[in-house]
Amino acid sequence: MLNAAFSGGSTPSFLFKALSNEAKKRGDNLSGVRFFWVDERCVPPDSEESNYNQLNTILFSALKVPEENIFRILGEKIPEKEAVRYSKIMYDTLPLRSGFPVFDLLFLGVGNDGHTASLFPMSRELDEKEKAAVVSVSPQSGRKRITLTLPVICNADRIIFLVTGADKREIVRKLCKHGKGDPSLPASLVRSQTGSIEWYVDSVAWSSWEQDSDVF
């Protein structure tokens, strides 16, 4: 069984669509994958903003993915209680390493402000060293979110960043030039315990300038 955690936002929709089309072609309902989330907005599951809703619409309903393999963050519940519940789900379901749950695969995006998951610049959640999931607040919308913490994110066997679009050019440049372990750029704090982080950046978000990166 492959334990995978997915981020939300607009970027991963192309991945979900490609996955859905490929699985349909193979007659595969992805029953070998257990679906978790890196973060979720505190909204009902049928909300346009829900990260679950995006995956459900594009993938789960199309492929009839087994319900028992979908570990949704319950965005409609009391955030603080749901963060505790989801942490327990991860501890009860996933293998552990260094005291934290281990995902086989974990997908991340990057916001224009350098946030990743729902870990925002200079936020206290960046310093969380004990809990596996916490409540954060989006500075843009003021809405609460539930997010995995850095100890869990960094514990994944494979961490994959997906970054596309011209609006990400500036943040990609910043991450290349100044991003090593900078709390004002949370994506730069993601350091794999197993050593491998993969960045997939499309040609529009990338640039031709010298890449003296210490992040990529």
Interaction site with ligand 6PG (CB under 6 A): 7-11, 38-39, 51, 109-111, 115-118
Our CB check for ligand 6PG shows the closer of 10 and 31 to be 10
Our CB check for ligand 6PG shows the closer of 10 and 21 to be 10
Min dist CB 93 to ligand 6PG, Å, is 20
Our CB check for ligand 6PG shows the closer of 29 and 49 to be 49
Our CB check for ligand 6PG shows the closer of 51 and 69 to be 51
Min dist CB 115 to ligand 6PG, Å, is 6
171, 114 contact by CB (below 8 A): yes
Our CB check for ligand 6PG shows the closer of 146 and 176 to be 146
Q: Positive or negative, the Cα torsion across 137, 114, 9, 155? A: negative
Min dist CB 190 to ligand 6PG, Å, is 11
Min dist CB 51 to ligand 6PG, Å, is 5
Tokens at residue 212, please? 């003296």
CB burial of residue 48 (10 Å; 0-12, 13-18, 19+): exposed
Our CB check for ligand 6PG shows the closer of 30 and 162 to be 162
Of 159, 163, 169, 164, the residue nearest 189 (C-alpha) = 159
Min dist CB 83 to ligand 6PG, Å, is 15
Of 133, 107, 116, 118, the residue nearest 33 (C-alpha) = 107
Min dist CB 66 to ligand 6PG, Å, is 24
